[in-house]
Every structure is written in C-alpha cells, then in structure tokens.
Structure 1
Amino acid sequence: MQQLRLFFIALQFFTRLPIPRWVGFEPDWLHHASRYFPLVGLVVGAITGAVYAAAAMVLPLPVAVLLSTAAGIYATGAFHEDGFADACDGLGGGLTRERVLEIMKDSRIGAYGAIGIILMLATKVAALASLPMLAALGALLAAHPLSRLMACSLIWRMEYARAEGKAKPLAQEMRSGEFAIAALCAALPAGAVAALGWLPPAALGAGLGGMLLATLWFARKFQQRLGGYTGDCLGAVQQLSEAVFYLCVLACLWN
C-alpha cells in the first residue's frame, strides 16, 4: 500500500491527473517517490498512445501525432517542456553559474527557450509521423518511461545544484535500490513492445543507446556549468532523450 501511495504521489507531482483522496500526503514521501517516475511515464505514454491510435483511425498520421503530443502536454501541464525551455535559456544566455541559475528560475521564456522548444516539438512530431502506426505506438509506450529513467539517473548519480527549489524534495537523493525499481518500471514496457513486435529489438537498442549518449552529454554540461542539476535539468534530459529515442528508432527502421 505504501508503494502504491508513492506512485500516486509521483503521479500528482509530475502530471495534472487526479489521485484518490485516501492517498494522503507526507513531505517525506516525496523523497522516495522518484522511483516511480518511469511508471508515471508509462501512464503518459498510454494516454498519448491511446489518443494517437484513436485519431489515426479517422485522420492522417501527422494529425494523429499532433493530437497525441497535445494530449501528453495537457496531461503533464507542459512540466518537462518548460524545464527544457528554461535549460536552453539558462545555458544559452548565462556566462556564470549564478547567472545560469537565475535565468533558469525566471518564469519568462527567452529566445533560446522559445527556439529550443519549437525545434524539440517539431523533431518529435516529424519523427513519429514518419513511423508506421504500430512502430509509433511502440515508440510512445517505450520512450516515455525510458526517458524518465534517464532523468532519474541524474538524481541517482549527481548533486542537486540549488540550496532550495521546487524539485528538491523529490530530487535530493536516490538510492541504488530505488533506481533499480525505476529501471524495472522502464524495462517492462520496452520488453512488452518488443514482445508484441511493434518495434524490433535492434530499433529499441538503438533508441536506448541514443538516450544514454544524450543523457551523458547533458549531464556533463550540467556538471560543468552548474556543478549539479536542477528540476529544469531533469525536464531537459527527459525531453532530449525522448526525442533522440524517436530519431534513432526512425533511423534504424528507415535503413
């Protein structure tokens, strides 16, 4: 029951979806809820996949992908997209650590953030629209949990860069056992997609490899510029690794 509570706490933190009243809330639960971040991704992937499948029955695939993307953004409240935009603004416009953190905390979006999020969304939509229907469904169901596992890896291996912040209670630390739970939550949907034949193992492997490289690149940049990560960094890693997964799957199937 406590594990179910932790999942619902993570779902409440990362999405706009309602949770049962009996769950309750204790501040300490946030410290351990990040283990179910990939499981929240499975919920978001299921929502986007369902919208895509329903829309694809009556509309062209590119339109179905757009509606699916809009459903995902609505379900999460653009939480991760906002983090990616803030990270683009901070890393693009700040010269010192203090200035980067100041820019990332600003709620206003700048040129780097606007350009970055437009290109990011366009890349994801174009890649998914270029995939066959079942492959796109498989990519959605696999990419959302796996990309959130990539964000968890920052919590697991890096230090939080701010003295305080909205994500700090959730992102202060992650033990190896908790990361193993997160990895299992991400691996099961990917394995199911492969077992169903929606994506070949080579495409899944290419997507996962691309995600790891993108995460390592972003983590190195965060360490150099900030000495750690923030909540915006987690959103940025999730968005970038998700887009890279779609691109690698598309490249594998295209060739």
Structure 2
Amino acid sequence: MEELRANEKGESQLNLFYLALSFFTRLPVPSSMQYSEVLLNKANRYFSLVGIVIGLLLALAYFIFSSVLPTNIAILLTMGLSLLLTGAFHEDGLADMADGIGGAFAIERRLRIMKDSRIGTYGSVTLIMALLLKFTLLTELAKLMSPDSGYLLLSIVLAESLSRAVAGSLISSMPYVSDTDTSKSKPLAQAQSSSELTLLLLIGVVPLLFYSFNIIVSIAFVLIVFRSLFKRWLMVKIGGFTGDCLGAAQQIAQLLIYLTLLVCLNNLVIQGVAG
C-alpha cells in the first residue's frame, strides 16, 4: 500500500513537471498528461527544473556547434535554438512589459497595452538590446573560459535555471494583476506555498554550487537586489505582476547572471596577470 502511494505521488509530481514543460517550452510531453488550472498552478514549483532541461539542451547544442564553427556563430545558433525551444515566450513577455509600462501612465492602460499582440517601439528597442547584450556577454564569457573546462556550458545551465527561479519566486510575494480573465498566465499566478517556493529555489541554485564561493555570493547578492528593486518597481507601476512581468524578470535575471559571471572572471584574469 505504501509503495502504491509512493508511486502515485511520484506520478503526480512527474505530471506537474510535464505541465510546466508544456507551458514554457515547445518540447513534446506524454499525451497521458493530465491538465487543469489547479494542477498548472501547482506546476510553478518546477519552473527552474524546466530551466535546467532547456539549459542542458542548449549547452549540448553549443558544444556541437562550437566544435565545427567559430564561437560567435555557435553562440548565435544556440540563441536561435533557445527561441525555438521556448517559442520566445519570455522574450515576448519582456517586450510586452516594456511596451505597457513605457507606453502609458495609467495602470489600466498599461495592462491593456501589455495584452496587445502587436509590438511597439519600447518593446522592439528593449528586445533588440536584450538579445544583443546576451550575445555579447556569451561571446566575452567564451573568450575568458577555457574551451575544455565546460564552464561556459555550466553557465548556460545556471542562467536558464536560476533566472526562472528568481522569476517564479515573485508569485509568492506579489498580487497578480490583469485587465482580463482570459489571461493565459492566470492559472500560474495563484498563491505559492512555502514548500513550492523552497523547491523552486533549491532546484534553481543547484548549478551555482559548482562555482567558487566568491562567485556564488556575488550572483546571489545581485539577484536578491534585483528581485527587491524589480518587485518594488512593479508595485509602483502596475500594483503587482502579470505573466509578461515574470517573463521580463527571467530575461533580466539571466542577463545579470551572465554579467556578474563576466565581472568576476575578469577580476580573476586581472589578478592573475598582476600576480
């Protein structure tokens, strides 16, 4: 009986993971997967695990691309694969949030603009700058990291998982706001239990444990400060968060992870030369 219950519990957790995977990626999931808004809400605990899966696929792709192509082309192809795997889901959120908050002053108007499928000037500029910055950061990281060390591959997995943990953690501390009941992110925006938040964060930080203590502290500090400031900014601008805001948080956190890694590694190189 206990073994049966354990199997059922394992299957239910696997189903939640499949739900998260199907929501955030274009990857195939079993047709036997069960769906409901309640289950999808519980699936937020596996956001960061979805990030690890995506990160591993991207790391493998970069490893293959870089073995036969120049670094910059390998990085560009890897970024393109990332957009295909996720359907540019988070990038779309970043652009929509930029359009909404940048294009109006009233909260209701901002929320309506975010729901508009068309992209405006603020969204276009923000998205272009974000993609260019990501490409540049990855290119510079590739220069600093030994091709045989695997650290660039690890940094891709880290950025994909930890950034989703940061974004997902906002659900537990902010109200969900939207101008429509048909929002596709609404099932994910209900209250998050402490156990779900803990699992989300624990999975997200696993790749970080392979780095030195100084890098761990630096990245943790940067992300904690970002989360606090971003949360406060959203409360002022729209009184809470939307699904687009979570996507934006993931993209910004990802860039901050790469940027912090680059700063830390640059300092190590400078110290090595000076020594």
Which one of the candidate residues 13, 35, 49 is aligned to 2:23? 13
1:130-164 CA-to-partner distances (Å, cap 9, x unmatched) read 11243321211111111001111110111101252
- Distance across 2 between alignment mates of 1:207 and 1:51: 25
1:143-192 CA-to-partner distances (Å, cap 9, x unmatched) read 1111001111110111101252210111111111100111121122322x
Which one of the candidate residues 182, 185, 193 is aligned to 1:167? 185
Which one of the candidate residues 28, 37, 53 is aligned to 1:43? 53
CA contact (8 A) 1:211 1:242 kept: no
- TM-score normalised by structure 1 residue count: 0.94
Give the C-alpha shift of residue 76 in structure 1: 0.4
CA contact (8 A) 1:47 1:71 kept: no
- Distance across 1 between alignment mates of 2:216 and 2:131: 21
Give the C-alpha shift of residue 202 in structure 1: 2.2
CA contact (8 A) 2:154 2:207 kept: no
The structure having more radius of gyration, on CA atoms, is 2
Say whether 1:123 aligns with 2:161. Answer: no
Amino acid at match of 2:197: F
Give the C-alpha shift of residue 26 in structure 1: 2.7
- The corresponding residue for 1:145 is 161
1:188-238 CA-to-partner distances (Å, cap 9, x unmatched) read 2322xx1xxxx4332233223222222222211111011100000000000
- The corresponding residue for 2:249 is 237
Total equivalences in the alignment = 249
Say whether 1:185 aligns with 2:197. Answer: no
Aligned positions of 1:65-80 closer than 5 A: 65-80=75-90
Aligned positions of 1:189-228 closer than 5 A: 189-191=207-209, 194=210, 199-228=211-240
- TM-score normalised by structure 2 residue count: 0.87
RMSD over aligned CA atoms reads 1.3
- Distance across 2 between alignment mates of 1:167 and 1:144: 20
SS in 2 for 1:130: helix
* Unmatched segments (≥5 aa) in structure 1: none
- Distance across 1 between alignment mates of 2:225 and 2:83: 25
SS in 2 for 1:235: helix
1:96-144 CA-to-partner distances (Å, cap 9, x unmatched) read 1011101111100011100101110111111111112433212111111
